[in-house]
């Protein structure tokens, strides 16, 4: 069983909606990540949080807004998305973001469809 939990598993939203994806880990990890995966493509990094601060933003459009309320939680707020944003959104965590020896663990993902 994964120790990174994502909700919801599936989300359908309109282009004018505001929704959020949530991620939680209880492994004491201090780095958390959001990845986006389109069909038949590898995951691509969106954001990295290290010690609850945003450390990497891979030039993601502002309609995606990450938030890290505490060391165990990571949210991704969605607003005014486009149909091409439909994808699998994967959350991950690791002990920290900068050292070697950091195995990254992924959640089961949230399947997002924008209509």
Residue with Cβ nearer another protein (80 or 86): 86
For the residues of 77-115, what is the DSSP string, one character each?
EEES--GGG-EEEEEEEES-SSSSS---EE---EEEEE-
Residue with Cβ nearer another protein (52 or 111): 111
Is 66 one of the binding residues for another protein (CB under 8 A)? no
| Smallest distance, another protein to C-beta of residue 86, A | 13
Is 44 one of the binding residues for another protein (CB under 8 A)? yes
> Which helix (H) or strand (E) segment is 11 a member of?
strand 10-13
For the residues of 48-85, what is the DSSP string, one character each?
EEETTEEEEE-S--TTEEEEEEETTEEEEEEES--GGG
Which of 76, 81, 97, 114 binds another protein (CB under 8 A)? It is 97
The number of residues that bind another protein (CB under 8 A) is 31
Which spans of this chain sit near another protein (rule: CB under 8 A)? 2, 31, 37, 41-45, 48, 50, 55-56, 88, 90, 92, 94, 96-109, 111
């Amino acid at each position: 069983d994964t120790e990174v939990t994502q909700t919801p598993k599936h989300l359908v939203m309109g282009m004018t909606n505001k929704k959020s994806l949530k991620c939680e880990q209880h492994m004491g990890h201090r780095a958390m990540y959001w990845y986006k995966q389109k069909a038949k493509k590898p995951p691509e990094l969106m954001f990295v949080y290290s010690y609850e601060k945003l450390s990497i933003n891979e030039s993601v459009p502002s309609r995606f807004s990450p938030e890290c309320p505490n060391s165990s939680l990571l949210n991704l707020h969605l607003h005014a998305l486009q149909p091409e944003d439909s994808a699998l959104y994967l959350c991950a965590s690791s002990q920290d973001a900068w050292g070697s020896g950091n195995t990254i663990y992924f959640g089961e993902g949230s399947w997002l469809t924008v209509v």
